[in-house]
Amino acid sequence: MRIASRLLALVCLLPLAALAQEKVVKIGVLNDQSGLYTDLGGPGSVIAAKMAAEEFGNKVAGMPIEIVTADHQNKPDIGSSIATKWIDVDKVDAILDVPNSGVSLAIAKIVADKNKVFIDSGAATSDLTGKACTPNTVHWTYDTWALANGTGKEVVKAGGDTWFFLTADYAFGKALERDTTAVVQANGGKVLGSVLHPLNTPDFSSFLLQAQASKAKIIGLANAGGDTINSIKSASEFGIVQGGQKLAGLLVFISDVHALGLKTAQGLQLTTAFYWDHDDKTRAWSKKFAARHGGKMPTMVQAGVYAGVLHYLKAVQALKSDEDGKAVVDKMKAIPTDDPLFGKGSVRADGRTIHPMYLYEVKKPAESKGPWDYYKLIREIPADQAFRPLSQSDCPLITKK
């Protein structure tokens, strides 16, 4: 009898407990889980987000943290409908990662309309913190301006003053070509021509022959993932580099270098926000990550998802609420960023996270001491020079002031 009454009392308490638990901090990782950008973000980004949540004990300001994930298949319409459902039905508070500039621009708008939080790591277009900036967007890892400023400037300085672009035919490729062209011209270089290729092209030999015929000293690859891999591979086969022309990979991820192999990729210069073997902190985190991701080291995109979630949770903790997306992003801008992967930095008024960028060169096979030992540092680009200065910004949040 006593037991029965206790049980009854417990049952009476249950709804209260449920009520108190109703608020969940829900983080949605939205990226390419099956196509050509899977390896640079994909399931690895989800692991990175989980690792950040675990550091908070999966709880922030008394609310449990839940991570959900979906595949946007690189299609803006699919990405948009997932984001809308996530926010309206599943009560997702923040959307993370979202590679593919086309999809990310669509998501940024939806998230702003619904006043949630968008922390992009995977997309490249500098428009996210430029003309398409919103009070709800944070762009964490890199952008086309930073890539152009890193690789583009360095290559022109080293004498590569005539360029021909192979450009992926969508928002990202065009933004990257535009930003790199600006850097090349500003440094006294000339762009001789470009060719727009469809996304996910299996064979680049035709385009490379056109680049070869242009006689440009530098062939700039304004593409990413599988497209970059295929361009570099075809170029080595067709003797482009032996012919005296040089390739400049404007966006190269470590997963691309891994797929190419050092023999093909050696000597390639690239700009990145993160390399696992940078210091003790990045090594320690990356080894933990690799242990959970089939031995694969994290890309800068996956690192950015981790750091983005960490900073988001700090802001939620400070506010003790995740309700008002703009307020959370304002808080993220107010508190300085500090994490083991990107170091100390800040989120700027336009949503751009400021941290150093690095110019690396891919090692020769003989220089590599083991698996994933791929890069050697050429130069660190200090945080205050790595990204587009606010004075050049076309972000309405900045220009309105």
Partner 1 sequence: MNTVFGVPIQALFSQLLVGLINGSFYALLSLGLAVIFGLLNVINFCHGALYMLGALVAWLMLEHFGIGYWGALIIAPIAVGLFGALIERTMIKRIAGLDPLYGLLLTFGLALIIQGVARNYFGVSGEPYEIPPQLTGGRNLGFMFLPNYRAWVVLVSVLLCGSTWYVTERTRLGSYLRAATENPLLVQAFGINVPRMITITYALGVGLAALAGVMAAPIYRVNPLMGADLIIVVFAVVVIGGMGSIFGSILTGFGLGVIEGLTKVYYPEASSTVVFVIMAIVLLLKPAGLFGRTA
Q: Which of 77, 88, 113, 237 binds partner 1 (CB under 8 A)?
A: 237
Two structure tokens written together for 150:
């890193």
For the bound state, the minimum distance from the C-beta of residue 218 to partner 1, rounded and expressed in Å, comes to 19
Select the residue interacting with partner 1 from 57, 188, 202, 295 (CB under 8 A): 202
Residue 145 or 170: the one with the smaller Cβ distance to partner 1 is 170
Among 134, 144, 231, 264, binds partner 1 (CB under 8 A): 264
Tokens read off for 379: 């130069």
Check binding of 213 to partner 1 (CB under 8 A). Answer: yes
Sign of torsion over alpha carbons 364, 367, 369, 374: negative
Span near partner 1 by CB under 8 A; candidates 36-44, 130-138, 310-318, 375-383: 36-44
Q: How far is the CB of 262 from partner 1 (least distance, A)?
A: 9
**Interacting stretch for partner 1, rule CB under 8 A, among 80-88, 105-113, 203-211, 346-354?**
203-211
Among 26, 217, 258, 314, binds partner 1 (CB under 8 A): 258
> Contacts with partner 1 in 304-333 (CB under 8 A)?
none
368 touches partner 1 by CB under 8 A:
no
At its nearest, how many Å lie between partner 1 and the CB of residue 152? 23
How far apart are alpha carbons 76 and 27 in whole angstroms? Answer: 20
Q: How far out from the chain centre does Cα 96 lie? A: 10
Residue 112 or 252 with smaller CB distance to partner 1: 252
231 near partner 1, rule: CB under 8 A: no
Among 164, 207, 274, 387, binds partner 1 (CB under 8 A): 207
Separation CA 198–CA 183 (nearest Å): 25
Please list every residue from 39 through 58 that binds partner 1, using CB under 8 A.
39-40, 42
Q: Does 335 interact with partner 1 (rule: CB under 8 A)?
A: no
Q: Is 285 left (phi over 0), alpha (psi -120 to 50) or beta?
A: alpha
Binding of partner 1 at residue 205 (CB under 8 A)? yes
Q: Which amino acid is at 103?
A: V
Could you tell me the smallest distance in angstroms from the CB atom of residue 241 to partner 1?
Answer: 11
Residue 114 interacts with partner 1 (CB under 8 A): yes or no: no
Is residue 200 part of the contact set for partner 1 (CB under 8 A)?
A: yes
User: Rule CB under 8 A: which of 284-303 touch partner 1?
Assistant: 296
Contact 249, 260 (CB under 8 A): no
- How far is it, in rounded angstroms, from Cα 97 to Cα 90? 18
Position 361 contacts partner 1 (CB under 8 A): no
Of the two residues 141 and 264, which places its CB atom closer to partner 1 in the complex? 264
**Is 226 an interacting residue with respect to partner 1 (CB under 8 A)?**
yes
* Positions in 119-178 near partner 1 (CB under 8 A): 169
Binding residue for partner 1 (CB under 8 A) from 196, 241, 335, 349?
196
Please report how the helices 42-55 and 300-319 are oriented relative to each other, as an axis angle in degrees rounded to 10. Answer: 30
What one-letter code names the amino acid at 197?
H
Q: Least distance (Å) from partner 1 to the CB of residue 131?
A: 24
Asked whether position 210 contacts partner 1 by CB under 8 A, the answer is yes
* Among residues 7, 209, 284, 334, the one that binds partner 1 under rule CB under 8 A: 209
Nearer to partner 1, 29 or 110 (CB): 29
Residues that bind partner 1 (CB under 8 A): 34-36, 38-40, 42, 169, 195-198, 200-203, 205-207, 209-210, 213, 225-226, 229-230, 233-234, 237-239, 243, 255-256, 258-261, 263-264, 296
